[in-house]
Structures are given as structure tokens and as C-alpha cells.
Amino acid sequence: MGRARPELRKDVRCWPTSAAYNLYYVANDSGITVIRVLHHARDINSRLF
């Protein structure tokens, strides 16, 4: 689930929450690992990620 974001990092996916935040995560064998939670208006790129 979520949108793949390979331009940020390999295997990273993004999921918009019901609030004004995006959840960035990677899937693993036991579930997911949350990498970042950022406001949706934040201009994110791979250098800052």
C-alpha cells in the first residue's frame, strides 16, 4: 500500500494520513518501519530525506 518513492530511497513508500501529514515507511518481514512523518506541504527531496 502507499505510493512508491524510489527517488527518496530504495523501497520507501508514502502514505497520506487523515491529518496533514505523510508517513514514509519501508515494509519488512514483521510489518513496517516508519522512517519519517512529515507535513504534507514540506518540499522533500532525497538529500534532505
Domain assignment present for 33: yes
Domain-located, residue 46: no
Residue 48 lies in a domain: no
> What tens digit of pLDDT does each residue of 18-47 get?
999 999 999 999 999 999 999 999 888 877
Asked if the structure places residue 28 within a domain, the reply is yes
pLDDT in tens, 3-12: 999 999 999 9
| pTM score over 0.75 | yes
Domain of residue 29: give its range: 3-39
Give CA separation, 44 vs 14, 24, 30, 36, in Å.
Answer: 12, 11, 27, 11
Integer Cα distance of 15 and 23 in angstroms: 5
Number of domains in the chain: 1
User: Which residue type, as a one-letter code, is found at position 31?
Assistant: G
